[in-house]
A = this chain, B = another copy of it.
């Protein structure tokens, strides 16, 4: 038995076997991948790593297994899968969605199969079972990758601990106490308030952390770097799980042109500026925004660049991330039936609407060009019909200015 001292959950025990997994180069790499990528440019304390998060998820898996009364073997495999669930995560990978072609879940499974991890696991476990759980199959799979899984519980808790946003809202202990194993992993009706707490944590963190105005800018800047590395053949995207944050950053620094320049700007916090934004809740058909294609975006960027006499690499049209809020679909056991969380909680019902309040489409350009964009309107470049001028029923839930700076 070995211990790791975790900032969120306290002293965590690892078995000898788990230590062997942790001691592989593949797992150690997670120490060098920040959980929230460039978010430390906004919240300077947000330097936590996927290593911590993986150990934390393993701990919550234990707690859940004990609560559900799973036997020793099931608990062991659940711990193992929680430990491994992010091992294939590329550096900044949530940032690189749309740039890379495989999901981090697929990469995790590929890495396990192809590396020494698979061999070690096979000594004591059925590798296929592990893969099934990592694919989210069965009740154990739901515990790792469902609507209210240990991954999500740990990262909401950990991200709020290190950013200081919404800390204390999510009540993980009570969530776990109210999970039940029927055909699926479901929440007991008594746990509804605890599930609400998880959604509220997300509701508060969405505009303040995950989709913070500046977070979106730095992510879009890094995405330009990444695309440039891949198109230049510098980075092997299919082996993204071999790199850590430093590899990619220094790789960019060593490039001439776009990647090098963007990384220099990120290093110096010389960020792109917003020159226009269009709020979703003022559009006639807000949903359409999430159906806009990459090609449409690219075309708009090119046209704007041409009109303004800029390099299109330096014009970014940025869509808001779809606020998935998967926790809303949590299955709740009520008497003999299973219902959707958003059906029995009026608070969750409300969040379903409110989550779009902060969303907008933005255009970013380097600060030195922002002056030329004074009369610029994105509406001239994209088809975004607005609602008939009426009183907006719900104003945008603004991110306090307070949180706007770095």
Q: Answer whether residue A321 sits at the interface, using C-beta atoms and an 8 A cutoff.
A: no
User: Residue A190 at the B interface, CB < 8 A?
Assistant: yes
Residues of chain B contacted by A168 (CB below 8 angstroms): 167-169
Chain B residue with minimal CB distance to A24?
B268
A347 to B406, Cβ gap below 8 A?
no
- Chain B residues within an 8 Å CB radius of A6: 44-45, 164
Copies of the polypeptide in the assembly: 4
> Is A129 located at the chain interface by the 8 A CB criterion?
no
B contact residues around A318 at 8 Å (CB)? none
- Tell whether, in the assembled complex, residue B347 and residue A203 are in contact, meaning their CB atoms are under 8 Å apart: yes
A114 within 8 Å of B (CB atoms): no
The 0/1 profile, CB within 8 Å of B marked 1, for residues 200-237 of chain A is 10011001100000000000000000000000000000
* B397–A4 CB distance below 8 A: no
Interface size range on A against B:
35 or more
Inter-chain contact A204/B194, CB cutoff 8 Å: no
Question: Which chain B residue shows the least CB distance to A12?
Answer: B44
1/0 per position for A1-39, CB-CB distance to B under 8 A? 011111100110000000100111100110110100000
Which of B2, B163, B267, B346 is A350 in contact with, Cβ under 8 Å?
Answer: B346
B residues less than 8 Å from A103 (CB atoms): none
Kindly state whether residue A255 has any CB partner on chain B within 8 Å: no
List 22 A-B pairs, Cβ < 8 Å: A4-B406, A5-B44, A10-B173, A28-B267, A32-B267, A44-B55, A45-B48, A167-B168, A168-B169, A169-B169, A174-B400, A200-B200, A246-B246, A246-B249, A246-B250, A344-B395, A345-B354, A345-B394, A346-B353, A346-B357, A346-B397, A347-B354
Which 5 A-B residue pairings sit nearest by Cβ, starting from the closest?
Answer: A168-B168, A350-B350, A7-B45, A47-B47, A346-B354
